[in-house]
């Protein structure tokens, strides 16, 4: 029986399979430490690379170290790599061993690697390159290389350090620095703009401003301060503040305490005495009003003091003029009130004199009523004359004085009539107080004369209340009241006609009630 012949191609395939199996066995043996050398074919012939020095302990160190480790032939072939290097590139060790290092380096760094193999000395060389991982990702690494000569065989030992984390940190730091630089630039511009705004503001304001450092040396003066002190900023800069801002007491002529030291001691804004004089550069004196405050930085540190002051000579003169004018007007107004009071007192005296010479009882009574009306008017002027505010008077206080006079006039206490006042403090101007005083005079007079005949006992009550601008006045008695069917609007007497007229003058509303006596009630609104 004739056996089939195999083709040349089949024989080559079997040879390749055999060589591949042999290579796999060799790699396995290298990994497990079963061989001591590797034969690598090269253009110069086969070369044998011994692994005699790769003892088990050495291999354990390489496999457990955090860095990658490589052993290369002079042409860049990887003779050995540890597990860490394999993990860095995410490539199995069997794929790496026997391959060229150049295949793992990015094109841009090929020239750097080529220069590495040209070095023939044993010096340690460090360089940074980028490797390509199995997934295509770029891996920044640091190579620490050295050459090893042993038994006429030359190898290159490389320790590979993964720089990914460091590069990420460097990139984060770079971005952080860039962001910080941008913020610093922005903040610098903001501060410069803010400083310019403040300088512009301080230059344009009317008050004089001086700033100092914590050593009381002048650092800034605005134009108003230059004008007021007589010093230019160029002359005063860094001079002690007391040399430029010389303040003395107007009364004692003694120099005041160093204002900067006083502010720094209290660490808060303070005002200085109003009787201060600023001694200008030429020796002239100007009355000033001044204050000081610490300059506090954003971190709470005091960096100096700012002094603000102004010339008050014109204001003092204006105050003196106003005060003199006010005193003159007060004196004149009091004199007017005094004269009116005296004139009314004279009219009262004349009417009293005339009444004492009149025999008809009715005529005497009419003069008496007129006398009481004049008294009520005079009393308004007297209260205004004695008031601290000559334009308004406390009408409640006035009621007590007026009713006391009326009670004496009609001998009400002897007749056992009691008068009560229930009133808030209500202030009225003279235009309102005069008609209201006459209304009270008429209503109380009517009650004292007509409500209690034949020595009847009783009460007369005056109530005065104010809610916002509304005022209510009521005069009530518990006397006999008005006759049945009597209409107050139709009573033709001078007193009630006067009450009605005065109520109209006040634009008020007058009403009468006749339950258990008589109650007259007035409502009016205060204007202004």
- The encoded tokens of residue 48 equal 């044998």
Which residue bears the tokens 């512009």?
200
Three-state SS letters, 64-123: HCCCEEEEECCCCEEEEECHHHHHHHCCCHHHHCCCEHHHHECHHHHHHHHHHCCCCCCC
Report angle CA 471, 476, 479 to the nearest 5 degrees: 170
Which residue bears the tokens 């008589």?
518
Three-state SS letters, 453-490: CCCCCEEEEEEEEEECCEEEEEEEECCCCCCCCCCHHH
On whether the CB atoms of residues 107 and 81 are closer than 8 A, the answer is no
Span 114-129, pLDDT tens digits: 887 777 666 778 888 8
On whether the CB atoms of residues 238 and 261 are closer than 8 A, the answer is no
Which candidate, 518, 437, 522, places its Cα nearest to that of 482? 518
Q: Which residues contact 206 (CB under 8 A, 6 or more apart)?
A: 224, 310
- The encoded tokens of residue 140 equal 């920044």
pLDDT value at position 224? Answer: 87
User: How many CA atoms does the CB half-sphere of 301 hold within 13 Å?
Assistant: 4
The answer to whether residue 55 scores a pLDDT higher than 50 is no
Cα 321 from Cα 326, distance rounded (Å): 9
Cα 402 from Cα 379, distance rounded (Å): 7
Which candidate, 85, 79, 90, 89, places its Cα nearest to that of 65? 85
Q: Which residues contact 44 (CB under 8 A, 6 or more apart)?
A: none
Cα 355 from Cα 342, distance rounded (Å): 20
Which candidate, 348, 464, 479, places its Cα nearest to that of 409? 348
- Report the phi/psi class of residue 517: left, alpha or beta, with left for phi > 0 and alpha for psi in -120 to 50: left
Span 400-432, pLDDT tens digits: 988 888 888 888 777 788 999 999 999 998 888
Which residue bears the tokens 């090929």?
110
The answer to whether residue 521 scores a pLDDT higher than 90 is yes
Span 227-284, pLDDT tens digits: 889 999 889 899 998 888 888 888 888 888 888 888 888 767 777 667 788 899 999 9
Q: Could you tell me where the beta strands, DSSP code E, fall in 133-190?
A: 138-150, 153-162
- The encoded tokens of residue 161 equal 């350090």
pLDDT bin (cut points 50, 70, 90) of residue 154 is confident
């Amino acid at each position: 029986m004739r056996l089939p012949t195999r083709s040349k191609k089949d024989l080559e395939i079997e040879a390749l399979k055999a060589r591949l199996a042999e290579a796999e066995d060799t790699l396995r043996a290298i990994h497990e430490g079963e061989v001591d050398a590797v034969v690598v074919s090269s253009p110069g012939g086969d070369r044998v690379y011994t692994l005699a020095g790769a003892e088990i302990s050495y291999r354990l160190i390489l496999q457990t170290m955090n860095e990658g480790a490589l052993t290369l032939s002079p042409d860049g072939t990887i003779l050995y790599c540890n597990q860490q290097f394999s993990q860095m590139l995410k490539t199995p060790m069997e794929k790496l061993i026997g391959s060229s290092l150049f295949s793992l380096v990015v094109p841009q760094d090929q020239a750097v690697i080529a220069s590495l193999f040209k070095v023939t000395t044993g010096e340690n060389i460090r360089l940074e390159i980028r490797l390509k991982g199995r997934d295509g990702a770029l891996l920044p690494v640091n190579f620490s290389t050295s050459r090893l000569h042993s038994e006429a065989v030359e190898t290159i030992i490389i320790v590979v350090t993964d720089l990914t984390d460091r590069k990420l940190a460097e990139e984060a730091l770079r971005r952080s620095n860039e962001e910080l630089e941008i913020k610093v630039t922005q903040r610098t511009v903001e501060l410069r703009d803010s400083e310019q705004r403040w300088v512009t503001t301080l230059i344009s304001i009317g008050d004089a401003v001086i700033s100092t450092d914590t050593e009381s040396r002048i650092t800034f003066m605005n134009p108003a301060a230059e004008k007021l002190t007589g010093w230019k900023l160029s002359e005063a800069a860094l001079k002690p503040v007391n040399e430029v801002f010389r303040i003395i007491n107007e009364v004692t002529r003694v120099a005041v305490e160093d204002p900067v030291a006083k502010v720094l001691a209290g660490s808060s804004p303070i005002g200085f005495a109003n009787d201060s004089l600023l001694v200008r550069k030429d020796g002239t004196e100007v009355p000033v009003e001044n204050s000081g405050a610490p300059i506090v930085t954003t971190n709470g540190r005091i960096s100096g003091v700012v002094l603000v002051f102004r010339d008050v000579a014109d204001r003092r003169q204006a105050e003196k003029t106003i005060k003199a004018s006010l005193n003159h007007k007060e004196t004149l107004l009091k004199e007017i009130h005094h004269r009116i009071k005296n004139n009314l007192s004279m009219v009262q005296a004349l009417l009293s004199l005339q009444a004492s010479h009149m025999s008809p009882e009715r005529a005497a009574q009419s003069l008496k009523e007129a006398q009481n009306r004049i008294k009520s008017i005079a009393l308004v002027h007297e209260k205004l004359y004695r008031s601290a505010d000559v334009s308004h008077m406390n009408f409640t206080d006035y009621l007590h004085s007026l009713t006391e006079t009326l009670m004496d006039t009609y001998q009400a206490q002897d007749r056992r009539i009691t008068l009560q006042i229930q009133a808030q403090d209500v202030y009225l101007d003279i235009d309102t107080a005069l008609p209201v005083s006459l209304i009270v005079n008429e209503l109380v007079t009517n009650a004292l004369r007509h409500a209690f005949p034949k020595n009847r006992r009783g009460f007369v009550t005056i109530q005065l209340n104010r809610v916002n601008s509304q005022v209510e006045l009521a005069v009530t008695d518990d006397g006999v009241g008005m006759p049945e069917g009597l209409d107050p609007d139709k009573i033709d007497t001078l007193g009630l006609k006067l009450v009605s007229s005065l109520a109209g003058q006040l634009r008020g509303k007058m009403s009468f009630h006749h339950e258990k006596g008589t109650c007259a009630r007035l409502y009016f609104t205060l204007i202004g």
